[in-house]
Amino acid sequence: MKKYKITIEGMHCAACASNVERSLRKIEGVKEASISLMTKKGFITAEDYVAEDEIKKAVEKTGYKVSKVEIV
């Protein structure tokens, strides 16, 4: 299990945050994803085999950009 902290750009409404969460949860191996509209940060708990790129793509699919990925 790994825990990521991501910073998302361009997200500005509440529906946006839940869209991103929804998209992230669709990735296989993602256990938990919660995004804060207020801090523009998201915390993702995922199996080790989930690639950083998959996370980025899932966010981009909803129309936003990941500007930073950290492992916490």
Partner 1 sequence: MESHSHDVRNSQSRISEHPENPNLKEDFHEEPVEDIEIKSWKRKLVGAWIFTIPVAVLMLSSRFGFEILPEKYMIPILLILGFPVIFIFGWQTVKSGVKGLVYRYFNMDSLIVLGVLVAYLTGIFSFTGILEDYSGVSSMIMAFFITGRYVETIARGKASQEIRKLLELGAKKALILRANKEIEIPAEEIQLNDIMIIKPGEKIPTDGIVVKGASSVDESMITGESLPVEKSKGKNVIGATINQDGILYVKASKIGKDTFLSHIINLIEEAQSTKVPIQKLADKITSVFVPIIIGLAVLTFVNWWYFAGDLSRAIGIAVSVLVIACPCALGLATPTALMVSSGMGAKKGILIRKGEAIQTMKEVKIIMFDKTGTITKGKPEVRSIFSITGEKYLLEIAASLEKLSEHPIAKAIVEKVGLKRYRQVSNFKILRGRGVEGKINSKEIVIGNSTLMKEKKISFDKVKEKIDEFEENGWTTMIIAENKKVLGVIGVADAVKEDSLEAISLLNAKGYRTFMITGDNEKTAKAIARETGIKEVIANVLPEDKQKKVEELQKQGFVAFIGDGINDAPALKQANVGIAIGTGTDIAIEAGDIVLAKGSLIGVVQAINLSKATFSKIKQNLFWAFGYNIIAIPVAVAGLLNPVIAEIAMALSSITVVTNANLLRRKRI
Amino acid at 3: K
Query: Does 41 interact with partner 1 (rule: CB under 8 A)?
Result: yes
Which element (helix H / strand E) includes 35?
A: strand 30-36
Nearest approach in angstroms of CB 58 to partner 1 is 11
Query: Does 57 interact with partner 1 (rule: CB under 8 A)?
Result: no
Q: 9-34: string of b/e by CB count within 10 Å (b at 16+)? A: eebeeeebbebbbebbeebeebeebe
Nearest approach in angstroms of CB 47 to partner 1 is 19
What residues line the site for partner 1 (CB under 8 A)?
Answer: 5, 7, 10, 12-19, 22-23, 34-43, 61-63, 72
